[in-house]
Chain A
Amino acid sequence: MNYLIELLVSGLAVGAVYGLIAMSFAIIFKATGLLNFAQGEMGMITAYVAFSIASATDGNPWLTAAGAIVFSVLFALAVERIVIRPMVDEPILARIMTTIGLAVIFRSGTMLVWDALPHDMGLAAGSALVDLGGVRVRGAQIGVVVALAVAVAAMLAFFRYSRFGIAMRAVASDDATARLMGVKTARVQQAAWGAAAVMSGIAGALFAIAWELSPSLYALGLKSFPATILGGLDSVVGSAFGGVVIGITENLVGGYLSPGLKEVAGFVIIIAILMVRPYGLFGEKRIERL
């Protein structure tokens, strides 16, 4: 029984990481119609920058968090402005390829700038063990679940009450009409990139604190695809739910069936979802079938 609870708890923590990155995919897809294949890599770079700040400030958690968040937003805005925006009128194939190109550059660049070895983040508060009714978890694992909950609440409120959130929904449903109604589409898309960068950056940094920091962190992006597909590509909150489901499923498969299957469980789920319900659990049924 205790084994099951341990699997569930650590699955929830990994799932929250996937959920945050999946929300980043979904918000960019919603605002721009683009699937950003470089999202996991951007989270990884934020984690590495957090690591550098933490080493420079002797593990000051507040400076690290603030620095990493500011960096992630600025970085995403720069990428959006320099690489993504000029391609806006190109065919979707070219735009997706651009993000794939970015992903490779970031992945390889990280290994050149830092190194390929695993590191400890050096934040004592994050990696301290906390006893939760017999199950010991790391502080950062609790942190990432809290971050997911905060992000979901923020997104719900944002889309329901904020003018900007409503503008984003307008852009998602029809960007030409939204522009005619005076919505600044470019501004909305920048905001989406910024929000996505913060969410995936937090996910990457907390994952690095709770487990370890290594260049294989980019795989978090790949493993969050199943979450977005399950929740619905255009459903930000659904993606968060998808992430938790995928994280827990993965851990249960790894714990009871085989560790090798754990790595691919999510990808098998993608193919299964696309057969049964291609628009995901909460997505709009806009996705066309042939």
Chain B
Amino acid sequence: MRSGFYKQTIAEHLALTDSWTQRAWIAVALAALATAPFVLDTYLLTLVTLMMITAVGGIGLNILTGWTGLISLGQTGFMVLGAYGYAIPVETWGWDPLAGFLLAGLVPAAASVLVGIPSLRLTGLYLAITTLASAFIVVHLVLEFPGLTNGASGIFVNRPTVLGWTVFTDQDLFRLVAIFLVLTILGALNLRRSRIGRAWFAIRDKDDAARVMGVDLRTYKLYAFVASSFVVGLSGALYGIFLSFVTVDGFPFLLSIEALAMLIVGGMGSIAGAVLGAVFLVGLPEVVSMVFSAFGDSARALLSTGAHEVKGVLYGLVIIGFLRLQPEGLMGLWRDAQRVWTLWPLRY
């Protein structure tokens, strides 16, 4: 009987998929994404679109936190940079949306170099503090340069025309976001199996050992930060298109917490985990509001006036609860289930 799932050769470690079961799952997921716009109603379609945008951001943060072991609280800041990096050239200067998406990644990536160089040469939790600081600096910079950013009133964002394809309906937006999600996942998976990705894992697991193996810590941490900010910036641009409006208020600090919660819920360091976490966290307030409305009008009133606050409390409880009870996250639960399935009736 099989006692576990072991990879024995380098080739197995480098393969994108490791079994036919996995390939079948991927095919199912792709088919679901392709058929969803025809099947789902507007409410569900919007919800799933939001889940996918959140997942793109989660995968971006996962590069930094899950793979390299660095905490960032600057998700909001990089999303704002990405959103304005897209909105200003496309809407104000009339550039092509593709160039806008490129800038949406490049602007946060450049900012992350500025923040990263002073903070990444320190060990410990300094990146959490500097990214927190940078999130606030970004918001104030946006408000300080109204000539470029239109200040507090923000920029209206049209749905883009990409390579002749005009994204107009909610179904089109869903497809656009789905394409970005798939591309992000592919890109992240390929980064993970590269030399850089393996260096990140080495740093996360033991930085001294990684250094002995010839990994230059500062350089590779900076790579992780830049790659992560690029992806997070893309999710910011998508979120701006989703809201059809880019303002500072559209990107509350809670987004940073949401992104971290997503990784904890899904399971650190796994892309499937980040996606699961996004589904869980975006879905959670909806489920809670359904439960609340079953309790009658007073509960519903509380939820409508304090939706943002209820969400905050939920995120906090989810973070602490998962860290305490299920530190491996939903992916850990899934792995446990697989183990039980294979080994039953034995326990190990």
List A residues at the B interface (Cβ < 8 Å): 35, 83, 86-87, 90, 92-94, 96-98, 100-105, 107-109, 111-112, 222, 225-226, 229, 258, 260-261, 263-264, 266-268, 270-271, 274-275, 278, 287-290
Instruction: Collect the chain B residues with CB atoms within 8 Å of residue A263's CB.
Output: 136, 140
Interface membership of B37, Cβ < 8 A: no
A274 touches B308 (CB 8 A): no
How many Å from the CB of A51 to the closest CB on chain B? Answer: 18
A105 and B140 in contact, given A274-B122, A290-B217 (Cβ under 8 angstroms): no
Do A275 and B118 form a contact, CB below 8 Å, given A225-B133, A260-B143?
yes
- Contact A222 B132, CB 8 Å, known A260-B140, A267-B137: yes
Bound complex: CA of A275 vs CA of B119, how far in Å?
A: 7
CA distance A261 to B140 in the complex (A): 8
Assess whether A108 is in contact with B308, with CB atoms less than 8 Å apart: yes
| 8 Å CB contact of B130 from A261, A270, A287, A289 | A270
The complex places the Cα of A156 from the Cα of B324 at a distance, in Å, of: 37
- Interface pair A222/B136, CB less than 8 Å apart: yes
Q: Which of A92, A222, A266 has the most CB of B within 10 A?
A: A222
From A103, A112, A267, give the contact of B316 (CB < 8 A): A103
- B124 to A, closest residue via Cβ: A287
Q: Which residue of B lies closest to A225 (CB)?
A: B129
By a CB distance below 8 angstroms, the chain B residues around A274 are 118-119, 122, 126, 130
The residue that A270 contacts in the complex, of B129, B315, B320, with Cβ under 8 A, is: B129
With the chains together, A108 CA to B115 CA distance in Å? 29
| B306 and A112 contact, CB distance less than 8 A | yes
Chain A residues whose CB sits within 8 angstroms of the CB of B122 once the complex forms: 274, 278, 287-290
Q: Are A108 and B124 in contact (CB under 8 A)?
A: no
Cα separation A223 to B303 with both chains bound (whole Å): 30
Q: Which of B143, B144, B318 has the most CB of A within 10 A?
A: B144
> Across the A-B interface, how many residue pairs have beta carbons closer than 8 Å?
131
Contact B71 A87 (CB under 8 A): no
Q: Are A264 and B320 in contact (CB under 8 A)?
A: no
Find out whether the CB atom of A35 lies under 8 angstroms from the CB atom of B125.
yes
Query: In the assembly, what is the distance between CA of A62 and CA of B334, in Å?
Result: 56
Which B-chain residue is minimally distant from A279 (CB atoms)? B122
CB contact under 8 A between A104 and B132, given known A111-B306, A271-B115, A290-B217: no
What range describes how many residues of B lie at the interface?
Answer: 35 or more
For the residues of B in contact with A, the DSSP-based class is helix
Taken together as a complex, chains A and B put the C-alpha atoms of A261 and B139 apart, in Å, by 11
User: Does B336 belong to the interface (CB within 8 Å)?
Assistant: no
The CA of A107 and the CA of B137, in the complex, are separated in Å by 21
B-to-A contact residues, CB < 8 Å:
65, 69, 71, 73, 115, 118-126, 128-130, 132-134, 136-137, 140-141, 143-144, 217-218, 254, 257, 260-261, 264, 302, 306, 308-313, 315-320, 323-324, 327
With a cutoff of 8 Å between Cβ atoms, the chain A residues found around residue B120 in the complex are 290
Do A97 and B132 contact each other (CB < 8 Å), given the known contacts A111-B309, A275-B118?
no
Contacting pair A112 B71 (CB below 8 A)? no
- 10 residue pairs A–B, Cβ–Cβ below 8 Å: A87-B323, A93-B69, A96-B71, A97-B260, A97-B319, A112-B302, A112-B313, A260-B140, A274-B118, A290-B217
Instruction: Check A225–B257 contact: CB distance below 8 A.
Output: no
Smallest Cβ distance from B126 to chain A, in angstroms?
A: 6
Chain A residue, CB-CB nearest to B313: A108
Give the chain B neighbours of A90 by CB distance below 8 A.
Answer: 323, 327
- Asked whether A264 lies within 8 Å of B140 as measured between CB atoms, the reply is yes
Which chain A positions have C-beta within 8 A of B73? 100
Task: Given A96-B125, A263-B140, answer yes or no on A105-B313 (Cβ-Cβ < 8 Å).
Answer: yes
A264, B136: Cβ atoms closer than 8 Å:
yes
CB distance from A145 to the nearest CB of B (A): 26
* B143 surroundings in chain A (CB, below 8 A): 260
**For B118, what are the chain A residues with a Cβ–Cβ distance below 8 Å?**
271, 274-275
Nearest chain B CB to A11 CB, angstrom units: 19
Given the interface pairs A100-B73, A112-B310, A264-B136, the reply to whether A290 lies near B123 with Cβ below 8 Å is yes
Q: What's the minimum C-beta distance from A16 to chain B, rounded to whole angstroms?
A: 22
For the complex formed, measure the closest distance between the CB of B253 and the CB atoms of chain A, giving whole angstroms. Answer: 9
On whether the beta carbons of B257 and A267 are closer than 8 Å, the reply is: no
How long is the Cα–Cα vector from A276 to B315 in the complex, in angstroms?
36
